[in-house]
Amino acid sequence: MTRGELRYVLGLLLAVAVPAALLHALVPDDERRAAALTAAPFAWPRVLVAHLVAALPLGLLAARPLRAAAHANEIPRGAWLVCGAAVVGGVALVSPGFADALSGGTFGEIPLLVLRALFALALVVPWCAWAGDERGITTRPGVAFAVATGLALVPPALYASAATAARTASANEWWATGRLAKADRALAGLCELGSARAVAEKPPGEIRRALRRELDRLESAAKFPLPPTAPPRARFARAEVLIQLDRLDEAADLLAPLAPGSPNAQMLLASVDRDHGHYVASAAGYEAVLARAVPDATQFPEARETARLAFEGLAFVARADNRPADAEAALLRALDALPRDAAHFHFLLGRHYHDGGRPVRALEHLRRAAELDARFAARAAEIELAIRTSTPACVLK
């Protein structure tokens, strides 16, 4: 490899690595760091990297006239490195303003896609100019420009769509389980990408504005210290508030003394242990809840609901701990222990088998869930369609 070729390859690598690393390091907002967000308007680091990579062909085209002008004016090649650093600094400087402007989710996906593509182009052009290689020159620059523009827009759009779909699912789950601070972090990224996918059946911007008001209320409530003589009910209520605010260590300190005498406290503590990655302690907590709740599940609706949530938690912990067989066993136990919730657990088993690459077993349980409860029919049909379009037909005969 010649020196010029080495510089060309190194320039393309640096065009992606340096802006991505510096922009993420220069994020000044602690809330954005906690949400794993990079500089606005790119939301998540992987979206930023996708845009930078996709902008390289257009950046190489745009760099040619700039490099020719610099050569004509005898500007040293090292000036491009200074220019690249300046562009990164400029983007980092305006990033907080963009974060505030986009936080309400009032802009659409297409305008924000174009904005991100322009930012990415500005970030990679200096490095492409520094690379200084004339390879790939075409006699049809218009076609090359059109193709490069398409590459700068379409792949990042597809990637952003996949990212928003995954984050929307997470936001819905966190909203449904009362993890409001975590839901707000996901919503921040969704608003920044202009997502129109509904969270809690509302647009991301609308639900985030309501969520911010609720979080402000919870923060105010959590500021008042609990007196040493506070009763268990008050301590449990404060722990719930702290969990909603994602202050899990403080919540665990309140729940630990309550857990031996309260299934609800034990359940919350098991959930906190799960989120901390303490899977053994979490599984033990869920088992302790089941030992209390299952015997009463046939007579008392509250015990049945507690047992249902504990079985789900136990399966979740097993999957997170890379123990799919234990997750399967937990769901099968739930089928036997909670026959009135059979449709729910058949559906969870079908999804578990689908995720584990066992399509035949998945279809059996998905169909059974739809037969027992029509509310599962649409979701079961969606997974069945995914199975049939990704699995050889002979396997499913």
Burial label, 326 (beta-carbon count in 10 A; 0-12, 13-18, 19+): middle
Q: Are 313 and 286 in contact (CB under 8 A)?
A: yes
Contact 208, 167 (CB under 8 A): no
Report the C-alpha gap between 48 and 55 in whole angstroms: 11
Per-residue model confidence as pLDDT tens digits over 326-342 = 999 999 999 999 999 99
**Mean per-residue pLDDT for 199-216?**
92
Compute the distance between CA of residue 41 and CA of residue 45 in angstroms, rounded to an integer: 11
**Residue 258 in contact with residue 240, Cβ under 8 Å?**
no
Query: Which pair of structure tokens corresponds to residue 115?
Result: 């904005």
Per-residue CA distances from 132 to 1, 12, 69 (Å) = 15, 11, 13
pLDDT at 393: 45
Residue 1 pLDDT grade (very low, low, confident, very high; cuts 50, 70, 90): low
Distance (Å) of CA 368 to CA 40, 140, 345? 46, 59, 10
Q: How high is the pLDDT of residue 17?
A: 94
Q: What is the pTM of this model?
A: 0.79
**Closest C-alpha among 42, 40, 158 to residue 101:** 40
Give first-to-last CA distance, the chain, whole Å: 54
**pLDDT the model gives residue 288:** 93
What percentage of the chain exceeds 90 in pLDDT?
Answer: 64
Where are the chain's structural domains? Answer: 3-181
Report residue 199: phi and psi, to 5°. -120, 125
User: Quick check: 22 and 92 in contact, CB under 8 A?
Assistant: yes
Position 133 scores a pLDDT of 60
* DSSP state, residue 103: T
Please give the pLDDT value at position 394. 45
Contact 218, 210 (CB under 8 A): no
Q: Side-chain half-sphere of 94: how many Cα atoms within 13 Å?
A: 11
- Bridge partners (DSSP) of residue 202 are 199
Condensed to tens digits (0 to 9), the pLDDT of residues 82-114 reads 999 999 999 999 999 998 898 888 888 999 999
Looking at the DSSP bridge assignments, the partners of residue 199 are: 202
pLDDT of residue 163: 92
- DSSP letters, 231-287, are -HHHHHHHHHHHHHTT-HHHHHHHHTTTGGG-HHHHHHHHHHHHHTT-HHHHHHHHH
Highest mean pLDDT among 32-46, 69-83, 132-146: 32-46
Q: Which two tokens stand for residue 308?
A: 């249902």
Average pLDDT over residues 272-294: 92
C-alpha distances in angstroms, 294 versus 261, 281, 338, 339, 386?
Answer: 16, 20, 8, 11, 35
CB contact at 8 A, 246 and 275: no
Q: Which amino acid is at 125?
A: V
Specify the range with the lowest mean pLDDT, choosing from 3-7, 123-127, 302-306, 365-369.
3-7
Q: Write the single-letter amino acid at 3.
A: R
Cβ atoms 182, 153 nearer than 8 A = no
Q: What is the pLDDT of residue 314?
A: 94
- Cα-based torsion angle of the residue sequence 73, 77, 78, 80 in order, rounded to the nearest 10 degrees: 80
User: What mean pLDDT value characterizes the chain?
Assistant: 89
